[in-house]
Amino acid sequence: MLMLLAAVAALVWANVSNDSYQALRTVTIGPDFFHLELYKWAQNGLLAIFFFVAGVEIKEEFVHGELANLRKAALPVLASIAGMIVPALIYLAVSWGAPGASRGWAIPTATDIAFALAVLAVTASSMPAALRVFLLTSAVVDDLGAITVIAVFFTEHLNILALAAGAVIIALYGLLQARRVRGLWIYLPLALVTWYLIEISGVHATVAGVALGLVTRVRGGPGEESSPGESADRYLRPVSAGFAVPVFAFLSAGVVLGGEGLSTILSDRVVLGVIAGLVVGKFLGVFGGAWLAVRLGLARLSEELHWRDMAAVSILAGIGFTVSLLIGNLAYGDDPERVNMVTTGVLVASLMASVLATILLRVRVRNRLNAQDDI
């Protein structure tokens, strides 16, 4: 709800007074050696917190969750991989030949884990827990894929020395975690130094967040009430969900939606590629990947679930939002008009996926309740 309210507030402000909205986004703050626009601080700084929480969540899945069991992990992992490849291919097919289209291929590959889980919780809380586990695990794998894409494909100028120094600090952080050294006063400075080194290395700073999350210990030790991963999740998730992501959404979603302008945007082939990739590509990829994995004997569908349930949650995976907006800004950051257009495409596609998935999930809930009544 906070993300949604932030996005709506940005849209209203940008369409009432776009000049003042843009002026706010481009306010430059920070020390002399590291001046960044406000939007850049949200993108590179606040989202590092979001990705740190995602990194801890990925680690939890590998240690305690579905990804710890290869047989159980096969279905969401294969579905998630297909759910990244197919949207990219559909995007390229729709946008082929449009100027600069190839730069945006990764925009529709991402699923917004928080938004998707929120829609599932609000519309279909009575559905089997296995459906939420599938969505959560596939979205976690999707996040890992997205951050890999950001690190590999959106690094233009690489400072090897800074990157190596950052890797050393991450290794030191991981060693201290393994040795069960505790104390925020140790880890917070290391995290800040890591973030700075990765940022100036040319690799996007969010990679630092994921890397630190992945080396954070998620197994509790003797005398510990909770593991560092659990503690970090407990304290940082409210900061991430309640502040970092809504602020990023507010500073990202403000696009001008005039009647003629909107029709022009929605006729652009790059925008159509983003919408088709998220709404159609995610469904075909996630559902098709899961179906193929089961048919080939590589995975097994939970007995609690029906393929109609999988179809609904596969459409839900088309909610891109946070990471799609981030990738769109990284891909077209030098072209504000194109950023405005792909942002509109992401918002339209996420809304479409939310509405379609909500309808299908409500139908599935009603059918399940009717079936239980018949029994």
**Residue 337 token pair:** 């008009």
pLDDT at position 163 is 92
pLDDT at position 374 is 52
Whole-model pTM: value is: 0.84
Give 204: exposed, middle or buried? Use CB within 10 Å, 0-12, 13-18, 19+.
buried
Cα 222 vs. chain centroid, distance in angstroms? 34
Q: Residue 326 and residue 239: Cα distance in Å, rounded?
A: 19
Architecture of domain 2-12+30-154+204-367: Up-down Bundle (1.20)
273-308: string of b/e by CB count within 10 Å (b at 16+)?
Answer: bbbbbbbbbbbbbbbebbbebbeeeebebbeebbee
Q: Which uninterrupted H or E stretch holds 36?
A: strand 36-37
Q: Residue 131 and residue 73: Cα distance in Å, rounded?
A: 13
Q: What are phi and psi of 264, to 5 degrees?
A: -65, -45
Q: What are phi and psi of 37, to 5 degrees?
A: -65, 155
**Residue 338 token pair:** 């194109």
Q: What is the pLDDT along the chain (375 residues), one digit of tens a residue?
A: 788 899 899 999 998 998 999 999 989 987 776 777 898 899 889 999 988 998 898 888 888 877 777 777 889 999 999 999 999 999 999 999 898 899 999 999 988 877 888 888 888 778 888 888 888 888 878 878 888 888 888 877 889 999 999 999 999 999 999 999 888 889 999 999 999 999 889 888 888 998 999 999 998 877 788 888 899 889 999 999 899 999 999 998 888 876 556 777 778 999 999 999 999 999 999 999 999 999 999 988 888 888 999 999 999 999 988 889 999 988 998 888 898 899 999 999 999 999 999 999 998 888 877 766 554
Angle between helices 307-316 and 282-295 (to 10 degrees): 150
pLDDT at position 259 is 59
Q: Where are the domains of the chain?
A: 2-12+30-154+204-367
